[in-house]
Copies of this chain bind each other. A is one copy, B any other.
Amino acid sequence: MKNRIFECCVNELSRLPGIGKKTAARLALHILKTDIEQVRALSASLIELKEKTVFCKICGNMSETEVCHICTDDYRNRTQLCVVEEAKDIFVLEATGFYRGLYHVLGGRISPLDGIGPDDLSIDKLIQRATSDEVAEVIIATNPDIEGETTAIYLSKLLHKLNLNVTKIASGVPIGSNLEYTDELTLLKAMEQRKDF
């Protein structure tokens, strides 16, 4: 009889993104060497995350409450609305600590190859929020790839028609990188979007 429990655990772990069979085996072996209390804590936190997290009914951010902590925060700047593809993008933008406005999660991006059109995204709700009196600027922060750019252009046309002030986060050479190893498209964008210095 082989070690069925171990293989079952490796199988479950390798369903996670970026975790292959080898990494899964390494993680499972680590679990074996860990205190049972710590394994219980990890295990419970996964279930709790899934069971108790909902998506904010205003912006689409993940939240423990019906409306998320950003939407309910009185200290946030309610004149700015930052549009992102997924809730996880809020997580990385918040980590910078720079932006103090509100967010709007599209729930994806326009991608005809995957059968995702504008109707599949939370665009009506975005328009509704953006056209309220409070909002002065819509910042588009979709990913700088083909689908993200397509989505950005689509939204910008739509929002401009409504006479809204639309901006988009800068594309350019990442900080700490090297011009020599930067791809041509990024360099092209960086040159095009050069600033007074």
Q: Which residues of A contact B (CB under 8 A)?
A: 1-6, 8-9, 12-13, 15-19, 23, 25-32, 34, 36, 38-53, 62-65, 68-69, 86-88, 91
Contact indicator B50/A34 (Cβ below 8 Å): yes
B residues in contact with A29, CB < 8 Å: 62, 86-88, 91
Contact indicator A49/B6 (Cβ below 8 Å): yes
Give the residue of B4, B39, B63 whose beta carbon is less than 8 angstroms from that of A47: B39
Contact indicator A5/B53 (Cβ below 8 Å): yes
Smallest CB gap from A42: residue in B: B12
Give the residue of B1, B25, B34, B62 whose beta carbon is less than 8 angstroms from that of A32: B62
Query: In the assembly, what is the distance between CA of A129 and CA of B2, in Å?
Result: 23
Count of identical protomers in the assembly: 2
Query: In the assembly, what is the distance between CA of A1 and CA of B2, in Å?
Result: 48
B residues in contact with A52, CB < 8 Å: 5
B residues in contact with A17, CB < 8 Å: 26-27, 30
> Can you list 12 contacts pairing A with B, beta carbon distance less than 8 Å?
A1-B65, A6-B53, A8-B45, A9-B46, A16-B27, A17-B27, A32-B49, A32-B50, A32-B53, A36-B50, A40-B47, A42-B46
B residues in contact with A86, CB < 8 Å: 29
Query: In the assembly, what is the distance between CA of A44 and CA of B9, in Å?
Result: 9
